[in-house]
Amino acid sequence: MLKRKEFILGAAVGLTFAAAATAGGVITWPGAHAAPAAAQAGRLVPSAGAAGLAFAPPQGAPLSFADIFQQVAPAVVQIDVKTRVQRPNGGGFLQIPGFGAVPIPGQPRGGGSGEEGEDDNSTTALGAGSGFLISADGFIVTNNHVVENAEEIKVKLSDGRELTARLIGRDPLTDLAVIKVEGSTFPFVSFEDKAEPRVGDWVIAVGNPFGLGGTATAGIVSAKARDIGGQENPYTDFIQIDAAINRGNSGGPTFDIYGRVIGVNSAIYSPTGGSVGIGFAIPAGIAKATTDRLMRGEKIERGYLGVTIGNLTNEYRESLGLPEGTKGAYITDVTAGAPGEQGGLQIGDVVVSLNGRPIEGSNELTRAVGAVKPGETLRMELLREGRRQTISVRAGTRPANLGAAQTEGGDETAPDAPAAIVGEKVEGLTVAPISAALRSRYELPETVRGVVVTAVEARSEAGRLRFQPGMVIVQANGRNVAAVGDLRAAVEAVKTARRPGVLLMVRTASGNVPIVLPFAKSE
């Protein structure tokens, strides 16, 4: 696992958790052969066919999806949860699984609804979501965010029965969970993890929007391999669909016209909280691999390097003088003592391949490392100071709480009055070696190395980029900076090469950030 970081600020987009649910069955089209299936087990088997036609509708397919719905609906379930939530101090809303922020009737100033907890700041809330049976003995797939922290889970079947479910396992990093009800003859469906849907293929969703139960919607695959940002789902290339999904649909599957489950929906893009035709589903291949392990009672462990990465943008590439078309994951920070540091990775390295697989950006490296087992050797080809080299790193185990594992300790003692600072000016920045006084003034950990910014010319390029005193220049032009002379030498080398700016690795309060500092134009 790697920490990812975005380096360009943009408008925040709300992703409202929601999903659609479905199941599968055997469909016989008029004038066409049915997809082969083990009907007696209620499980679909993908039909054989040409690679490009795996998801094409059979000749003579009807204009209605009614037959498909009748086959798949029995495996779709409604999930009701009772969860202990914190009661807000200043507003009448609760964050309820499957519904998001919900106003509390009669409590405009932060009062609660439901049963009060032992303390005055918690209450019991009810939430709803969707799920689907994947075995005859009662295993059910849903989203992690539907059942996370649930004190009680109830499942309503399509035949009206209501059963108590128990949590088997969950994986927050893929937003998947498995629960189980007791029984042995439940209708169920299977994941289609071999044939992949294409953009434009039909999809159908059945779920529990707003608690309404068995609701079907249809649409197409709008896009594939979507990255929806953030740390919630770093290991998932989402399928984007336009079948209408809303709150309460979380955890249900999306299926194709053969009733094969091709994804588990977990999020929608929505400025309003309702469906606007942009939904995201976890692909069946990822969902099956994860839920199979959860069903076996296995702990989900992932490989870990302990580095912060970003994409190698054209601006960074040009500043480093790398050939046009060079792609890779750009390392901006290395956690002390982590496997990456022990294996020789450095800030400024550009990883271009892992175990022979090309790496085009940070998402690919994150998922490739997360897919390996802890202890496996990662053979990484990288660019360092413009030269290609290969190193091997033994993957560690991703910490359960990665944020806590990487929190830096600080000295909370009040700093003494700072001594006078003597700095040197470089491209609009006044910089100085890190001294004890500067570490105290700017609360810099002992592990930080570089030159610290003590002043910024407001009208310079550095001022325009909002450099601030206390920032530390760790690298320049891909080389470590230990003194002001190192920074000057890097700047002169880049100017001699007639490049428009120097790429700096800058430590900020939120971590290392690569910044291209353009050179002032000559008059």
pLDDT at residue 247 greater than cutoff 80:
no
Q: According to the model, what pLDDT value does residue 422 have?
A: 53
Across 16-30, 187-201, 435-449, 454-468, least confident range: 16-30
The model's confidence at residue 57, banded by pLDDT at 50, 70 and 90, is low
Residue reference for tokens 């052969």: 33
- Element (DSSP H or E) covering residue 179: strand 176-180
Averaged pLDDT of the chain: 77
The model's confidence at residue 27, banded by pLDDT at 50, 70 and 90, is very low
Mind listing the pLDDT tens digit for each residue in 70-119? 888 899 999 999 887 666 554 444 343 444 544 444 444 444 444 444 45
In terms of phi and psi (left: phi > 0; alpha: psi -120 to 50; beta: otherwise), the region of 370 is alpha
Q: According to the model, what pLDDT value does residue 68 have?
A: 81
The model's confidence at residue 234, banded by pLDDT at 50, 70 and 90, is confident
Mind listing the pLDDT tens digit for each residue in 308-333? 888 888 888 888 888 888 999 999 88
How does DSSP classify residue 211? G
In terms of phi and psi (left: phi > 0; alpha: psi -120 to 50; beta: otherwise), the region of 66 is alpha
pLDDT at residue 215 greater than cutoff 60:
yes
Mind listing the pLDDT tens digit for each residue in 165-197? 999 999 988 899 999 999 989 999 989 888 788
pLDDT-above-90 percentage for the chain: 26
Q: According to the model, what pLDDT value does residue 86 have?
A: 63
CA dihedral 425, 445, 234, 276 (to 10 degrees): -60
Q: According to the model, what pLDDT value does residue 275 have?
A: 74
Q: According to the model, what pLDDT value does residue 268 have?
A: 77
Q: Which of 130, 158, 222, 250 is catalytic?
A: 250
Active site residue 392: no
Active site residue 175: yes
Q: According to the model, what pLDDT value does residue 340 have?
A: 92
Please tell me the distance from the alpha carbon of residue 127 to that of residue 150, in angstroms, as a whole number: 9
Active site residue 33: no
Average pLDDT in the 275-303 region?
89
Q: Which of 67, 175, 242, 486 is catalytic?
A: 175
